[in-house]
Structure 1
Amino acid sequence: MKNPWTTISTKEVYDNPWIRVAEHQVITPTQSRGIYGTVRFKNRAVAIVPLDRELHTWIVGQYRYTLDEYSWEIPMGGGPLEEDVLDSAKRELKEETGLTAGKWSELMKIHTSNSVTDEVGFVFIAEELVPGETEFDPTEDLQVRRLPFADVLRMVMEGEITDGISVAAVLKTAIRLKMS
């Protein structure tokens, strides 16, 4: 489909190592003038649902500055745009849980908030897990829990896990597990 938006001008209003924020003067699809703000990410989101033979998985807890609250999530992080997505996922799984996996499958591609950002996420299922030591980033204070996948699904359904990528990944994994 042809893009119905026309950009008149763009002004960068903020830039750091992770994001770039811009304000755009536009003509909307209905031909009215307006402004549009965008957040461009300099990394891709990568997330992992690790599953062992007993159908246990790992979740990671941390205090999220932007939300001002504690959050339980599946292991995830940012992968540089120039890095292979699967390599980024392998690195994040090792950093946050200490796990390495012998089998990887892509579960989904997801846009996290397509109204204001171009962030794209990739979610993988990791199996044939081997434990090891975590390698947390210096800024991270994480808790890692191994739980039955059914407990994590319950946490999603009861609103204990609210991170969008985690919710989508757990629900899609639950459907996949019931169909196989």
Structure 2
Amino acid sequence: MKKFEEKTLSEEKIFEGRVISLYHQEVELPNGKSSTREIVKHPGAVAIIPITEDGKIVLVEQYRKALERSILEIPAGKLEKGEEPINTAKRELEEETGYEANEWKHIQSFYTSPGFADEYIHIFVAKGLRKLENSAQLDEDEFVELLELSVEECLEELKKGSIHDAKTCYAIQYLQLLNKN
């Protein structure tokens, strides 16, 4: 038994989309009472911290409809069924930036919003970048612009509000800690 476990009494799929599914659950709480939960099921994702030879981070600027604005982010993408995270990371780096990397390191995996979603994201550092002449293309509904910024420049963008997502904030803090050690 898991501490504070909530037993699922019933579950109904409310929505199934290309990326997520939404479920409504009736649960029994640890105290014996019941409650409801709305759960988002997600296939998982990867994010890449691409670092250039001169120590800059390759970021993508992308419009995010949920926010109704553009933000700066590290490259990322969703896992395809049965795909290993490292393979997703390599594919997404090429598609979103036109780069490939000689050196890959997995640094962390975490849940993005465990209060309502099961999305699990794997963070990789990519070094030894090389620009490809014929790289994979972005998905037809993706539009991005590349930027290469130092950690200090990323901190300025964070203060200005251009960086808002957890994975990119995590990446900046990770690199700050590396620079201090």
**4+ long deviations beyond 6 Å:** none
Task: Find the counterpart in structure 1 of residue 65 from structure 2.
Answer: 65
TM-score by length of 1: 0.92
- Residues 52 and 58 in structure 2, CA contact (< 8 A), matched pair in contact too: no
Q: How does 1:117-128 map to 2 (within 5 A)?
A: 117-128=117-128
Match of 2:171 in 1: 169
| One-letter amino acid of the structure 2 residue matched with residue 12 of structure 1 | K
Q: Distance in 2 between matches of 1:156 and 1:83?
A: 32
Measure, in 1, the Cα distance between the counterparts of 2:173 and 2:90. 22
Q: What aligned pairs does 1:104-115 form with structure 2 within 5 A after superposition? A: 104-115=104-115
Cα distance, 1:69 vs structure 2:
1.3
For residues 145-179 of structure 1, give each alpha carbon's deviation from its aligned partner in whole angstroms, at most 9, with x where no partner exists: 12223212332355320111111122112212321
The one-letter code sitting in structure 1 at the alignment partner of 2:11 is T
Distance 1:110 1:158 in 2: 26
Equivalent residue for 1:129?
A: 129
1:103 alignment partner AA: E
Give how far 1:117 is off. 0.4
Q: Look up the match of 1:28.
A: 29
CA contact (8 A) 1:110 1:165 kept: no
Residue 84 of structure 1: how far off its partner (Å): 0.7
For 1:19, the aligned partner's letter is I
1:154 aligns with 156
1:132 Cα offset (Å)? 1.8
Tell me the distance in 2 between the aligned counterparts of 1:146 and 1:169.
14
Q: How many aligned positions are there?
A: 178
Q: Deviations over 1:73-109 (max 9, x none)?
A: 0111112141010010000000111110000111211
Q: How does 1:66-105 map to 2 (within 5 A)?
A: 66-105=66-105
One-letter identity of the residue aligned with 1:143: E
- For residues 124 and 157 of structure 1, do their structure 2 counterparts lie closer, same or farther at Cα, with a shift above 3 Å needed? farther
Deviation (angstroms), 1:54:
1.1
Identical-residue share of aligned pairs (%)? 29
CA separation in 1, counterparts of 2:19 and 2:159?
31
Q: Is the 8 A contact 1:45 1:120 kept in 2?
A: yes
Which ranges of structure 2 fall in alignment gaps of 5 or more residues?
Answer: none
Unpaired stretches in structure 1, ≥5 consecutive residues? none
Equivalent residue of 2:44, what SS?
A: strand
Compute the RMSD of aligned alpha carbons: 1.5
